[in-house]
């Protein structure tokens, strides 16, 4: 979540430059499988990734269209020997309002269970230590224009396993 201080990681005494959001989002993934309503992609360590992240890994990401939902799954496997530190930021973006119409204020995100825990925000690109009251009412997050006026909303203590 957030970013590394000064966009730099120190691993085994050596510094590695790793920009905010990492390298996966700009890397070319291999298509492992694809069908009418699903696809699976894979990214493995390469010379380009090792410059920023010196570990052998395999990252698999799959998408399945199930009715009006889009389950997204990701798994990261250490393909090498040393302990591999990893942080996986998972925040897909969606067009809002959705293209099929409807007023902006009619859209919401529904969590599986109520989410009363405080949220976190970013400060100078890093997660701020002070919590903020949750914008979730029970299990519903009503979308509104000012929701992200202070930047990203970080749910770091969720009870839910899914959101719809």
Q: Which domain holds residue 74?
A: 1-92
Asked whether residue 104 falls in the same domain as residue 85, the answer is no
Asked whether residue 112 falls in the same domain as residue 83, the answer is no
Q: Are 109 and 93 in contact (CB under 8 A)?
A: no
Q: What is the pTM of this model?
A: 0.71
d(CA 147, CA 154): 12
Asked whether residue 46 falls in the same domain as residue 101, the answer is no
Q: Are 2 and 122 in contact (CB under 8 A)?
A: yes
Q: Are 89 and 1 in contact (CB under 8 A)?
A: yes
Strands 108-110 and 140-142: antiparallel
Task: Write out the chain's pLDDT in tens, 164 residues.
Answer: 457 889 999 999 999 999 888 899 889 999 999 999 999 999 999 999 999 999 999 999 999 999 878 888 999 999 998 999 988 777 767 777 777 777 888 888 999 999 999 999 988 878 888 999 999 999 999 998 899 888 888 888 899 988 88
Asked whether residue 2 falls in the same domain as residue 83, the answer is yes
Asked whether residue 100 falls in the same domain as residue 88, the answer is no
Whole-number CA gyration radius for the chain: 18
Which of 92, 109, 141 terminates a domain? The answer is: 92
Task: Count the domains in the chain.
Answer: 2
């Amino acid at each position: 979540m957030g970013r590394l201080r000064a966009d730099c990681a120190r691993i085994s005494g050596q510094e590695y430059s790793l920009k905010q959001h990492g390298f996966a989002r700009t890397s070319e993934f291999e298509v492992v499988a694809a069908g009418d309503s699903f696809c699976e992609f894979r990214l493995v360590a390469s010379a380009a990734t090792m410059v920023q992240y010196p570990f052998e890994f395999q990252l698999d990401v799959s998408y399945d269209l199930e009715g009006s939902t889009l389950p997204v799954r990701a798994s990261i496997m250490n393909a090498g020997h040393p302990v591999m530190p990893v942080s996986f930021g998972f925040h897909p973006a969606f067009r809002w309002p959705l293209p099929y119409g409807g007023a902006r204020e009619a859209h919401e995100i529904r969590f599986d269970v109520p989410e009363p825990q405080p949220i976190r925000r970013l400060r100078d690109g890093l997660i701020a230590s002070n919590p903020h009251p949750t914008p979730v009412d029970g299990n519903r997050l009503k979308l509104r224009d000012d929701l992200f006026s202070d930047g990203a909303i970080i749910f770091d203590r969720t009870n839910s396993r899914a959101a719809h």
